[in-house]
Amino acid sequence: MNLSVVILAAGLGKRMKSGIPKVLHETLGRPMLQHVIDAVTPLKPEKTVVVIGNGADEVRRRIGAAHITFVVQEKLLGTGNALATAGKELNKGAVLVLNGDGPLITTGTLKKLLTRHRRSGNALSFLSFTDDSMGGYGRVIRDGSGRVSAILEDKHATPSEKKKFTELNGGVYVIETSELGCLQRIRKNSDSGEYYLTDIVSIVSDSGKRLEAYNCSPEEIRGVNTREDLYQVTEIMRKRVIAKWMKRGVTFIDPRRTVVHTPVSIGRDTVIYPDTYIEGKTTIGRNCTIYPGVRICDSTLGEGVIIKDNTLIEESRIGKGSTVGPFAHLRPMSVVGRNAKIGNFVEIKKSTIGHGTKASHLTYLGDAVVGSNVNIGAGTITCNYDGRNKFKTVIESGVFIGSDSQLVAPVTIHKGAYVAAGATITKDVPPGSLAISRAKQQNLENWAKKRRGK
């Protein structure tokens, strides 16, 4: 069966009071339009057309995906005109039309709508819902026998019509492409100067063809017109994601205060404390513990990893059984092996840290390759930057770096070597040797007394 998808995303989003096109505003770290695309992709449509206009170039740049066809609506003449603009791109069969500002819609609901549409042999089907608290939606008008006859936009409805017609239009339609000719018969609304897609309902209804509105949960339909809506929608999505992971065996100490993005995956028996943000394409293994105040972006954590309080992890990988934090920062391209310990106030950038290695306190490791079972003393710093270029530090396995040492890169500390505390290392250290680089200590006896005597 032929299916095409059209997503209407050209609107201005005036009510957002924003310099960013509305459909690019993010819910859980992804543009709203991206969520709508994610919901339709599993339906395997032959074609997905996105109608853009306002901020078209920006939308194209952000949403660039090979399987999307962008069509530009030159003048924003309403949703009816937007679909007509996409019309020439459509194949035979049915077309699923969605608003780009409704990111809560799920694949499951869309599948159900398509099945009902096909089974009933409808010319037109759409989703409706009932919720008195939600304003601004089109109202579904049914005749005495309960047959859908029209959609009346909220702003054109009288108070008595609003009272009478409480079923609302969800803005998700399935239309047989053979009916798209009806779009030419939509008249310009004299008040707003727009062509309303919703007018297609009365046109199809008057022609005597089959049409139906199917009720669904308001939690899937809620669109974003204002910042308040953006918050409400994000909150619904956030709760949905947390509920999914709880069902799969993840503990949230306070689910109201945890944000998990949609592409994230979390293993069972992992415990997540409040005020944590698990973002982007992050994978967390089983039996991990994430303490409060942690943000993890686009990273992978193996089994049993512990992230202590107030830690930031970006584009990094952490092996099984390792501990990171409190107050640690893993910057992009950091790889930490198994059973390692990255402690208080440690910053790591673009470095590899071997299995069982410890950097427990106050350390900066940048552009470094550190072997396994290395002990990095408190206050160790890789001096990786000379003001122009970045250089590499290599610390081989079994090395012991004394506290407060500076390793001036490029430099290599070979296997099993020791660096005495307070060293400034500028030359390679051979395997198994001890490097000391500090002024010899002198003790001036009775110095204090002599000074007092002066």
Residues lying near ligand UD1 in the complex (CB under 6 A): 8-11, 51, 73, 76-79, 81-82, 99-102, 137-138, 151, 153, 168-171, 196-198, 223, 225
**Cα distance between residue 440 and residue 33, in whole Å:** 66
- Give the residue nearest to ligand UD1 (CB): 138
Indicate the residue among 14 and 281 with the shorter CB distance to Ca ion.
14
Q: Which does 8 bind (CB under 5 to 8 A by kind): Ca ion, ligand UD1, none?
A: ligand UD1
Q: Which does 398 bind (CB under 5 to 8 A by kind): ligand UD1, Ca ion, none?
A: none
CB of 391 to Ca ion, least distance (A): 54
Indicate the residue among 70 and 245 with the shorter CB distance to ligand UD1.
70
CB of 83 to ligand UD1, least distance (A): 8
Is position 13 an interface residue for Ca ion (rule: CB under 5 A)?
no
CB of 220 to ligand UD1, least distance (A): 11
CB of 51 to ligand UD1, least distance (A): 5
Is position 223 an interface residue for Ca ion (rule: CB under 5 A)?
yes
Indicate the residue among 24 and 359 with the shorter CB distance to ligand UD1.
24
**CA within 13 Å, CB half, 23:** 30
Indicate the residue among 222 and 329 with the shorter CB distance to Ca ion.
222
Is position 302 an interface residue for Ca ion (rule: CB under 5 A)?
no
Q: Which does 78 bind (CB under 5 to 8 A by kind): ligand UD1, Ca ion, none?
A: ligand UD1
Residues in the interface with Ca ion (CB under 5 A) total 3
CB of 288 to Ca ion, least distance (A): 39
Indicate the residue among 51 and 381 with the shorter CB distance to ligand UD1.
51
Indicate the residue among 18 and 225 with the shorter CB distance to Ca ion.
225
CB of 225 to Ca ion, least distance (A): 5
361 is catalytic: yes
Beta bridge partner(s), residue 406 = 381, 424
**Packed helices 32-40 and 56-63: angle between N→C axes, nearest 10 degrees:** 50
Considering only residues 182 to 201 of the shown chain, the ones binding Ca ion according to CB under 5 A are none
Indicate the residue among 10 and 266 with the shorter CB distance to ligand UD1.
10
Please name which of 73, 30, 32 lies closest in space to residue 51, comparing C-alpha atoms: 73
Per-residue binder mask for Ca ion (CB under 5 A), 78-107, x = binder: -----------------------x------
Give every CB contact of residue 125 below 8 A, 6+ residues apart in sequence. Answer: 113, 116, 117, 173, 174, 211, 212, 213, 214
Residue tagged active-site, from 35, 117, 329, 361: 361
Q: Which does 196 bind (CB under 5 to 8 A by kind): ligand UD1, Ca ion, none?
A: ligand UD1
- Give the residue nearest to Ca ion (CB): 223
Which positions are catalytic? Answer: 361
Contact residues: Ca ion, CB under 5 A:
101, 223, 225
